[in-house]
Amino acid sequence: MPDRELTMLETAHAYFNETCDLLDVEDGLRQVLLNPWRQLSVSVPIRMDNGEIRVFNGFRVQHNGVRGPYKGGVRYAPAADAAHTNALAMLMTWKTALVDIPFGGAKGGVQVQPADLSEGELNRLTRRYTGAISHIIGPQRDIPAPDMGTNAQVMAWMMDAFGQTNGYSPGAVTGKPIELGGSYGREAATGRGVCDIAMLAAADIGIDMRGATVAIQGFGNVGSFAGQRMVEIGAHVVALSDANRAIYDPAGLDMEEVLAHNARVGSLENCPLGEVITNEELLELDVDILIPAAIEGVISTENAEKIRARLIVEAANSPITYGADAILADQGTTVIPDILANAGGVIVSYFEWAQNIQRFRWTLNRVNEELYTTISHGFDRAQEMAKERDLTPRKAAYAVAVGAVAKATELRGFI
């Protein structure tokens, strides 16, 4: 066990190397699968509303394209540097392989605090960033999507900027508004998929979802839709948080009221519901299911032993550090890894891309049904591997995913 917390990229590499040891992947092939195929670093200068020029750092990392066009979100966050983007791109390769959709893995990022920019500044930033990476993206090359700090509006600007030089290309970006070729159900897809997976995992370890207690950290795209869906399926969401406030009510929070407050204020700040607790306390609550849906590294070696939830569903990417993962495994906590738990977003992005290419729109019912079919297939594959080789859900999910990409690489015969 390392004597310090691993970074997100070191964590991604550590899980990958452990999996290669398990699967006996030869050294040369490991290098092909470990290293990103292309890493682009760009400068994104824009004129601010006050007339000043500011330059932001942008990245697009294409980790592996052996199974199809690269696919992955774009994150606007101060921490979205090269190493971060690289780690997230690698996770995308395993995620698409695990749920068996025909994409590789990529990720983009701009080091910016989006809340500090006006709408006009964000529009200009997005266009400039898209222009800088447009020679390596496109419907058959690499298809960006929303992630932290970006949303359907940002995707609409990206599609427009890409289309200015490439012609009308809705399939170049997913997570678009419905009016511009977005898919029904895409906005809610990641949160819905988190709940699909939570239901399957809960059934497996004997938690009844009806009446199960749930704590969710992060009330953005993923956390808010996961919360709504949890209530729909009969669970009690007892705690919620965002970067501004965490709230707790053991009897269950009124989701309608929380959503109304969030829509009115733009965050949970000053939300009058429940008791105010800290984000750290939320993670340590005695609940059946904990859903970290905000940022990375929130469960670390500092607090892992204090986690009391029986089941953790990783809605965020990499919310548990490498060291904490081992502690949780030792104490018998079931952890469903990010590459499975939050795959709903990329799955419905795949449906959106397919609809765009076919110029055909699916109904919401069809999207949700096919989402369940696809994500539960990923769950079954990982379960089967876990039982066969006596592995944790994370190790099993990695074994399925890395094995699939290794096999596809061999079949392509380019090395």
Return residues touching ligand NAD (CB under 6 A).
146-149, 190, 217-223, 241-243, 279, 293-295, 315-317, 342, 345
Beta strand ranges found along 115-201 (DSSP E): 142-146
In the complex with ligand NAD, the residue whose CB is nearer, 25 or 156, is: 156
**Catalytic residue of the set 71, 95, 107, 176:** 107
In the complex with ligand NAD, the residue whose CB is nearer, 228 or 317, is: 317
- Give me the residue whose beta carbon is nearest to ligand NAD: 220
Q: Which phi and psi (to 5°) does residue 32 adopt?
A: -65, -40
Please, are residues 147 and 74 in contact by the beta-carbon 8 Å criterion?
yes
SS3 content of the chain, % helix, strand, coil (to 5): 50, 15, 35
Q: How far is the CB of 279 from ligand NAD (least distance, A)?
A: 4
Q: How far is the CB of 342 from ligand NAD (least distance, A)?
A: 4
Q: How far is the CB of 293 from ligand NAD (least distance, A)?
A: 5
In the complex with ligand NAD, the residue whose CB is nearer, 78 or 120, is: 78
Nearest alpha-carbon partner for 173 in 205, 197, 141: 141
In the complex with ligand NAD, the residue whose CB is nearer, 101 or 293, is: 293
Whole-angstrom distance, CA of residue 194 vs CA of residue 375:
9
In the complex with ligand NAD, the residue whose CB is nearer, 46 or 154, is: 154
Any idea what DSSP says for residue 253?
-
In the complex with ligand NAD, the residue whose CB is nearer, 20 or 230, is: 230
Please, are residues 137 and 119 in contact by the beta-carbon 8 Å criterion?
no
Q: How far is the CB of 360 from ligand NAD (least distance, A)?
A: 23
Give catalytic status of residue 107 as yes or no.
Answer: yes
Residues 6+ apart with CB under 8 A from 264: none
Region of 206 (left: φ > 0; alpha: ψ -120 to 50; beta: rest) is left
Distance in angstroms between the alpha carbons of the first and the last residue of the chain: 34
Beta strand ranges found along 100-257 (DSSP E): 105-110, 142-146, 213-217, 236-241, 246-248
Please, are residues 343 and 145 in contact by the beta-carbon 8 Å criterion?
no
Strands 246-248 and 213-217: what pairing?
unpaired
Q: How far is the CB of 220 from ligand NAD (least distance, A)?
A: 2
Q: Please tell me the number of Cα atoms within 13 Å of 113 on its side-chain side.
A: 2
Q: How far is the CB of 102 from ligand NAD (least distance, A)?
A: 18
The residues that are catalytic are 107
